[in-house]
Amino acid sequence: MKEESPKAIIYALAANLGIAICKFAAAAFTGSGSMFAEAIHSSADCGNQLLLLFGLREARKPVTPLHPMGGGREINFYSLLVALLLFFVGGAFSVYEGVHRLFAREPLQYAYVALAVLGVSVVLEAFSLWGAVKEIRKTHPDKSMWRWFRETRESDLLVVAGEDIAALAGLAIAFVAVLLTLVTGNPVFDALGSIAVGVLLMAIAWFVAREVKSMLVGESASPEVRRAIEKHLLARPEIRSIVNLITLQWGREVVVAVQAEMIDYPSGRAMVDAINVVEADLQATFPQVRWVFFEPEVPRDQRPV
């Protein structure tokens, strides 16, 4: 089975670290509240990537007696931390900073510097989002982004894509706020921009947290994977019908529990051998299926009355 690659997360970490440094310098130089809010956002993004990298490492923990299915779902826990601790902290701080500047009315200096940094950041964040979308399209070329967000079982990629979208939207809001402040000379627009960025971050945090919470509680494999598994099993000559099929996403791996009517076999040993063949073939066809629990069901016409 393919291991999760941290390469995209490392790229995003390097990009956000550079962007955060530039934004903090520009915020100190210009006194822009929107720019400072964006700097906090980029710093939060760096924390996001560090937590995700740690989560990916924890998700590779081997099977133990205490955790008989390994640590595959650890990444869901750390993805939830990203949404709750970093998105909400970044969003709440941005709102606080905006409200503070709304009353303080601190003037914006060197607005052109802030606009230049925001423009460069837009380009870098757009490139980062393009990379995330490219990863999504590798395995889901026909899905709309909205459908992918609702059906994905990859919490780390969900967080990366979510924060990239939040970053781009936040940058656009900050750019407009600084531009309006420059044109009108009224710092209220800069303060309102900071508040808007914070509200945006908290809204996306809520959405991401809701999706990751569902994965943490326990979701089935994605609809297309479950349908493919069911179709594969029904095509096996050993199986007469599927009574029940349960799939459970476990990190990047899948648990499958099958209750099926088998064809007639001369002995119990022959049926066990047939089940072993079905399980091996299922795991060979779907490498992400690590565990298969198979329960044979007596055919209906052979059940006692």
DSSP 107-152: PP--HHHHHHHHHHHHHHHHHHHHHHHHHHHHH-TTS-HHHHHHH-
Here the tokens at position 165 are 């979208």
Put the strands of the sheet holding 239-250 in their side by side order: 239-250, 253-262, 289-297
pLDDT of residue 186: 86
Rounded Cα distance, 118 and 131, in Å: 20
Q: In this predicted structure, what is the pLDDT of residue 2?
A: 43
CATH of domain 223-302: 3.30.70.1350
Positions in the chain whose pLDDT score sits under 70:
1-8, 33-34, 86, 105-109, 298-305
7-217 topology per CATH:
Alpha-lytic protease prodomain-like (1.20.1510)
pLDDT in tens, 236-291: 999 999 999 999 999 888 999 999 999 888 888 999 999 999 999 999 999 999 99
Residue 159 has a pLDDT of 84
Q: Which residues are paired to 253 by β-bridges?
A: 250
- Residue 288 has a pLDDT of 92
DSSP E strands: which ranges in the chain? 239-250, 253-262, 289-297
Q: Of 40, 90, 127, which Cα lies nearest the Cα of 32? A: 40
Give the domain ranges of the chain.
7-217, 223-302
- Say what the pTM is: 0.77
State the pLDDT at residue 3. Answer: 45
pLDDT of residue 228: 95
pLDDT of residue 254: 94
